[in-house]
Amino acid sequence: MYDSKTVRRRRVVLGLLVACSLILLTASFGGDGGAVGSVQRGFSEVLNPVQEGASRALKPIRDLFGWFGDTLSAKGKLADVTAERDRLRKEVLRYQDAQSENQLLRKQLNLNQSLGLDQYRPIGARVFAQSSTVWYATVKIDKGSSNGLRAGMPVIDEDGLVGTVSQTTSSAAVVTLITDHTSGVSARTTTGRVPGVVKPSSAGNPGSLLLALTGAGRIQPGDRVVTRGTIESRYPSLFPEGLPIGQVTAVEDPGSDTQEVRVRPFADLRRLEDVQVLTNVRGDGS
Amino acid sequence: MKALAARVVAFGVVIGIVQITFVSQFPIAGGTADLAPLAVMSIGLLCGGLVGASFGFGLGLFLDVSLLQTLGVTSLILVGVGWFAGRVRDSAADTEEALVPLLAGAAATVTMSVAYSIIQFLLDVSAPVSGVLLRQLLATLILNTLLALPVHAIARRWLSKSLPQEPKRRRRQPTSAALSPLQQGLRAQGTRRTSLS
């Protein structure tokens, strides 16, 4: 069908394309990619406004599809949510008592350690792109180093912890979600204050996390999991204390060495829209 | 040729942007569709292996650059997908048949998922793997199979004016060469009888 010259030319081009891919892969793998990484960030910088514009233009369609999905999902969740509400009502009564007692004690001890987020100088950002493969749980936000964002800063939404800033360009940043395989968050439960590390349960699973316990204690389904914060001042944590992460959904083989604590994140990591980046976690004014 | 190149590039940019700003953020049945292998498959089927592979390289690079991922991974896989689609075009009797893009789209998605997983493991990604991952990959495969025909139709419509007109494949005419002398004689006799009556 083709003469030998054409076939040879096609094979040479294919070989060149494969070689280019392998060279790029080798050059950009690991670390920040050096010179190739800088070029990549430069191109990304150019593409950011286009992607952001497209994301805004497509938002109504996304919302429309999302509305159908949410309606179906809400129907399925109704029974669970009703049971949860009843349980929470009882809890609220208990907490109100505890809160008034707590306020009294705080006054007595002259402590003023509110967990208000304002002290961490939150910066609002919008998610405009998301990784299309299950192997990377990352999103891109429309604020970057020019807004004071740096790698390592925690990112939250209205429901809880979302992840950390992993890379920045001047106008955008990549956020690595808590379900990414590279993520690990020092955490504790609110009821028994049982410490552990929150890790992803498996690749491509945005609805489930694992709490690997680092201390003894009793955990039950329904317990809430929050960030543990800095324990040792020499090794400050990336996350302030008390940021909500999720809720324990199941404890498999409780008390044994193979115990697995499954946690459902509060934040809907598949549908992130608006997030906040905490830019001053250590309170040092930097 | 320049018009074709421009249209192919525009198609790639639109597919890339729609993928990361819309399709990736829209989960269905636990998975998301991946337009990249479908687009590369369509270009390979319509324009041949060389253009398909080049398009795959470009689209892969665009996605990796946009998401600040390890460069070259997506390109490497999509080069293979584009080349494979071109080979399908060369060997299939009729690429216009609906089944060809459908099956090629499914095969491209499976290739993309499996190859991506293998490369991630080779790059020492220590992600734990569970049934959820397989379910997601299966959901992506089903969604992509459903989208293969629409994506191919859009690609064909977009490129139709710029595609070089291929000479239609000639269907082999039945000849008498394969008949034995006895059969040829019988046929000739039959023709004579018909003309006499």
Identity of the residue in A17, A69, A174 whose CB atom sits nearest the CB atom of B68? A174
The residue of chain B with its CA nearest to that of A210 is B128
Would the CB atoms of A54 and B17 count as touching at under 8 Å?
A: yes
Whole-number pLDDT of residue A286 = 40
Inform me whether the C-beta atom of residue A16 falls under 8 Å from chain B C-beta atoms: no
Whether pLDDT at A170 is above 80: yes
Of the listed ranges A151-160, B20-29, B104-113, the one predicted with least confidence: B20-29
The answer to the question of residue B120 being in a domain is yes
Distance, CA of B164 to CA of B97 (rounded, Å): 19
Give B18's contacts in chain A (Cβ within 8 Å).
Answer: 54, 58
Q: B194 in a domain, yes or no?
A: no
Residues 87-106 of A with CB under 8 A from B: none
Nearest CB among A17, A44, A50 relative to B53 is that of: A17
A135 touches chain B (CB under 8 A): yes
Confidence of residue B21 (pLDDT cuts 50, 70, 90): confident
Cα A39 to Cα A113: distance, rounded to the nearest angstrom: 44
Mean pLDDT of chain A: 82
Q: What is the pLDDT averaged over residues B179-188?
A: 64
% chain A with pLDDT above 90: 17
| Yes or no, beta carbons of B90 and A29 under 8 Å apart | no
Asked whether residue B189 is assigned to any structural domain, the reply reads no
Confidence of residue A118 (pLDDT cuts 50, 70, 90): confident
The structural domain count of chain B equals 1
Q: Where are the domains of chain A?
A: 34-113, 121-281
pLDDT surpasses 60 at B134: yes
| The predicted structure's pLDDT at residue B165 | 62
Nearest-Cα distance to chain B for A148, in Å, is 19
Residue B190 within any structural domain of the chain: no
Is B169 contained in some domain? Answer: no
Q: Which residue has the higher pLDDT, A54 or A106?
A: A54
Structural contact between residues B59 and B105, judged by C-beta atoms closer than 8 angstroms: no
- Residue B123, SS3 per DSSP: coil
Q: Is the pLDDT score of A150 beyond 60? A: yes
CB contacts, 8 Å: B67 with chain A: 129, 131-132, 136, 138, 140, 174
Residues 143-182 of A with CB under 8 A from B: 167, 174, 181
Distance CA A39, CA B90 (A): 37
pLDDT reported for residue A96? 74
Give residue B171's pLDDT band: very low, low, confident or very high (50, 70, 90). Answer: very low
- Residue B155's domain comprises 2-159
Name the CATH topology of A121-281: Thrombin, subunit H (2.40.10)
Chains A–B, number of C-beta pairs less than 8 Å apart:
163
Contacts of A81 (CB under 8 A, 6+ apart): none
**Exposure class string for A227-243: b at 16+ Cβ within 10 A, else e:** bbbbeeeeeebbbbeeb
Q: How far apart are CA B76 and CA B81, in angstroms?
A: 9
Examine residue B104 and state whether it is found in any structural domain, yes or no.
yes
B52 occurs within a structural domain? yes
For an interface test with B, give the residue of A132, A176, A179 to mutate (most B CBs within 10 A): A132
Mean pLDDT of B147-153: 93
Its pTM stands at 0.69
Where residue B191 falls among pLDDT bands split at 50, 70, 90?
low
pLDDT band at residue A162 using 50, 70 and 90 as cut-offs: very high
Q: Which pLDDT tens digit goes with each residue over A20-43?
A: 999 988 888 766 667 788 888 888
Q: Report CA dihedral (B72, B78, B83, B87) to the nearest 10 degrees.
A: 160
Mean pLDDT, rounded, for A167-187? 90
Single-letter residue type at B159:
L
pLDDT reported for residue A252: 84
Using 50, 70 and 90 to split pLDDT, how confident is the model at B154?
A: very high
Q: Is B192 a domain residue?
A: no
- Rounded CA separation B119/A78 (Å): 41
Q: Which residues of chain B lie closer than 8 angstroms to A128, CB-CB?
A: 21
Q: What is the CATH number of the domain that holds B106?
A: 1.10.1760.20
Selected residues 185-204 of chain A with any CB under 8 Å from a CB in chain B: 200-204
Res A112: pLDDT: 39
Tell me the percentage of chain A whose pLDDT exceeds 70.
Answer: 89
Residue A174 in this model has a pLDDT that exceeds 90: yes
Confidence bin at B76 (pLDDT 50/70/90): very high
Q: Tell me: pLDDT of A192 over 70.
A: yes
